Amino acid sequence: MNDELVIIGAGPAGLCAAIEASKNNLKVLLIDESDRPGGQLFLQTHKFFGSRHHMAGVRGFQIGNDLLKQASDYGIELLLNTIVWGIYPDKRVAFATEGEKKCSVIAQNILISTGALEKAIYFKGWTKPGVMSAGAIQHMMHVHRVLPGKKVLIVGSGNVGLIVAYQLAQAGADVVGVIESLSNIGGYQVHAGKIRRMGIPILTSYTIVEAQGTPCVESAVVAKIDDRGIIINDTELEVLCDLVCLAVGLRPFDELCRVLDLKMVYIPNLGGFVPLHNENMETSFNGIYVAGDVAGIEEANTAMDEGRLVGIVVAEKLGKIPTKKAGELKIQIRKRLADLRLGSFGSVRASGKAEIIKHWQ
């Protein structure tokens, strides 16, 4: 029997889709390239925002543990250490697993929930050892228990930069500061407030000019910029640090979407090119869905709900769940998603999502 739903990427979106689909008796195959499912949830040591439905107040990794338990209770088939390298027009998913012979399956439906890639900014010395992305630092700290630097400069004040600053300080690093090229802090004030109370400065309208040191980073030069982004003369300052953390945004990890030549739309507020999709998260290719960051950069709560939505949509399509019941569930999830996209932070993403739907129509 063909797998009714093959899910590529076992992060928050993929896991929730798998759980929701299995709950409705679908045969699911969940594939992930790492040795443990959960994606970025296991890098999130902070408590989540949101409502009771999103387990607000519970730490990300604990939500991850809870999802893994549910996945195992439903007996979801899981293929780890597996790289999906292609999807063919007959919905054959081609993959490679170390030491395994099986290398493809044909799926009735596919969910691409491959998450995001970190962006970088380029400056003199940016390839030196000691310049790292925020995700890499979190991975080293929380998965491998390695503190990658003692004195850290953070570039970017979105929630990722602010949270990583806090986590590095918890791990014992000296965070010398967070710099932000815009004139305002990008992330939540409460995240900024946490690190400010620890005495960590946040400097807006600042950029990194150079990472210095041989061969590793020993210092960084920062400078003030004007509102056009141009460095103001004589504001350069050398800051001692052995780690420069780049937290300058994410973009959808869209390789598999490109392989399939899915229609893409450019939505800057959602990270750049995003696969076109409808309200059921179905792409321009019938039976292929997207959810989570690959469908537009948001956050784990929206990823989980988009995943659940796909689980229900596919279950309904295959007749595993009555249309009326599916309709009710979809309304509940869409209401939660709408709630998560309220407010001055969420509404930016809401308008991006609305633009995608507009393109679809």
Partner 1 sequence: MLDKLPNDSNDGVLSLERIRALPGYPGKDRFDEGPVVVIECDEDIPCNPCEDICPEGAITVGEPIINLPCINPDKCNGCIVCISICPGLCMFVVHKNFSATESLIYIPYEMHPVPEKGSIVKGCDRKGEFACDARVEKTILIKKLRKTAILAIAVPKRYFEIVRAIKL
Residues that bind partner 1 (CB under 8 A): 46-52, 56-59, 169-170, 176-177, 179, 183-185, 188-205, 222, 237, 239-240, 339-346
- Between 199 and 319, whose beta carbon lies closer to partner 1? 199
The nearest distance, CB 260 to partner 1, in angstroms, is: 33
What are the CA-CA distances from residue 173 to residues 151, 197, 221, 273 (Å)? Answer: 6, 16, 20, 36
The nearest distance, CB 126 to partner 1, in angstroms, is: 20
For 136-242, strand residue ranges (E) read 151-155, 174-180, 202-204, 206-212, 219-224, 237-240
- Between 130 and 161, whose beta carbon lies closer to partner 1? 161
317: left (phi over 0), alpha (psi -120 to 50) or beta: alpha
Question: Quick one: tokens of 312?
Answer: 């229900």
Nearest to 280 by CA among 331, 318, 241: 331
What are the CA-CA distances from residue 148 to residues 36, 123, 136, 234 (Å)? Answer: 22, 21, 9, 31
* Peptide linkage before 275 cis (omega within 30 of 0): no
Residues in a beta bridge with 264 = 275
- Between 46 and 119, whose beta carbon lies closer to partner 1? 46
The nearest distance, CB 71 to partner 1, in angstroms, is: 23
| DSSP 8-state symbol, 294 | G
Backbone φ and ψ for 75, nearest 5 degrees, come out as 65, 40
- Between 30 and 200, whose beta carbon lies closer to partner 1? 200
The nearest distance, CB 41 to partner 1, in angstroms, is: 15
The nearest distance, CB 256 to partner 1, in angstroms, is: 30
The nearest distance, CB 155 to partner 1, in angstroms, is: 12
- Between 52 and 358, whose beta carbon lies closer to partner 1? 52
- Between 130 and 177, whose beta carbon lies closer to partner 1? 177
Residues 79 and 273: their CA atoms lie apart, in Å, by 28
The nearest distance, CB 201 to partner 1, in angstroms, is: 4
Residues 110 and 222: their CA atoms lie apart, in Å, by 46
- Between 154 and 313, whose beta carbon lies closer to partner 1? 154
Cα 64 → chain centroid:
14
The nearest distance, CB 225 to partner 1, in angstroms, is: 12
- Between 26 and 244, whose beta carbon lies closer to partner 1? 244
